[in-house]
Amino acid sequence: MSTANAPKKRKQPSSQPTPSKKPRTEGNATLIGPHEATLKELSAKHNVLALSILSSTQIRKRVSSATSHLLDASAQSRAVLLHARPADVCKMITVAEQCKRLLGEEGQAWFQYNELFDLPADAKKKKKKSTPERIDLEEEAEEDSDSDADAFETMESRFEQAVLPPPRARTYKSLRIFISPQALPELKARENVTVQTSEDAA
């Protein structure tokens, strides 16, 4: 029997399980880190769309993406997460306000949850470098200062380091906003979350 006429074996379907659905994100993916735990918690019951707001972000585009997601009737429970760095919080608030206005025009109720979150360590502002003129002045001042005073200040600083507790690490925070057409009990139960609803605005 020719091998060319031999029946070909059918490919067996893969037995690997289908991965669970993850929340969608739009914008800079590197900024989503502080929100991953919250998104994972919410995505178990809600379809969440995360939108980052940057200085280069087009407000109209973000408003369109958010309202389209919230007004989609194909899913029972939906929510949008807006997050931004401190410098872009005002722009994010503008996006949130326009979204709520459009939802109201469509007769859709809305719930807004505001929460501060900790920024990652690399988001801290970098200190400005000293200018050459400032460096020269500092060097001249050091040369003119008395060596005994320098020695005293060095001993004083060492004493403070040995006796005083180390300074507390400074944390940087920003604001994130959740908008949903229905209440989100998971967020309302949090201690530092403020809630606004369309009923309050009426």
Helix-then-strand count for the chain, H and E? 7, 6
In a domain, 161, yes or no: no
* SS3 assignment, position 189: coil
> Is residue 2 included in any domain, yes or no?
no
Residue 170 has pLDDT above 50, yes or no: yes
How far apart CA 195 and CA 58 sit, in angstroms, is 26
Whole-number pLDDT of residue 16 = 46
For 51-78, what is each residue's pLDDT tens digit? 999 999 999 999 999 999 999 987 678 9
* Domain annotation covers residue 175: yes
Sign of CA dihedral 61, 62, 65, 68: negative
DSSP string covering 6-65: SPPPPPPPP-PPPPPP--EEES-GGG-GGGHHHHHHHTTTSEEEEEEE-TT--HHHHHHH
pLDDT digits (tens, 9 = 90+) for 102-150: 999 999 999 999 999 888 766 555 444 444 454 444 444 445 545 555 5
CA–CA separation, 27 and 46 (whole Å): 20
Distance CA 2, CA 184 (A): 67
Q: Which residues pair with 196 in a beta bridge?
A: 112
pLDDT at position 34 is: 79
Q: How many whole angstroms separate alpha carbon 172 and alpha carbon 192?
A: 16
For residue 119, give the nearest of 179, 50, 32 by alpha carbon.
32
> Residue 47 belongs to what domain range?
31-120+171-201
Between CA 192 and CA 96 the distance in angstroms is: 19
Strand order from edge to edge, sheet including 111-118: 24-26, 47-53, 78-84, 173-180, 111-118, 194-197
Residue 84 inside a domain? The answer is yes
Q: State the Cα–Cα distance between residues 79 and 178, nearest whole angstrom.
A: 7
Provide the number of structural domains found in the chain.
1
Task: Identify whether 15 is part of a domain.
Answer: no
Considering the domain boundaries, does residue 16 fall inside one?
Answer: no
Decide if 132 is inside a domain. no
Average pLDDT taken over every residue of the chain = 76
Residue 105 domain-assigned (yes or no)? yes
- Among the listed ranges 91-105, 133-147, 172-186, which one has the minimum average pLDDT value? 133-147
Q: Give the CATH number for residue 41.
A: 3.30.110.20
DSSP, collapsed to helix, strand or coil, labels residue 133 as: helix
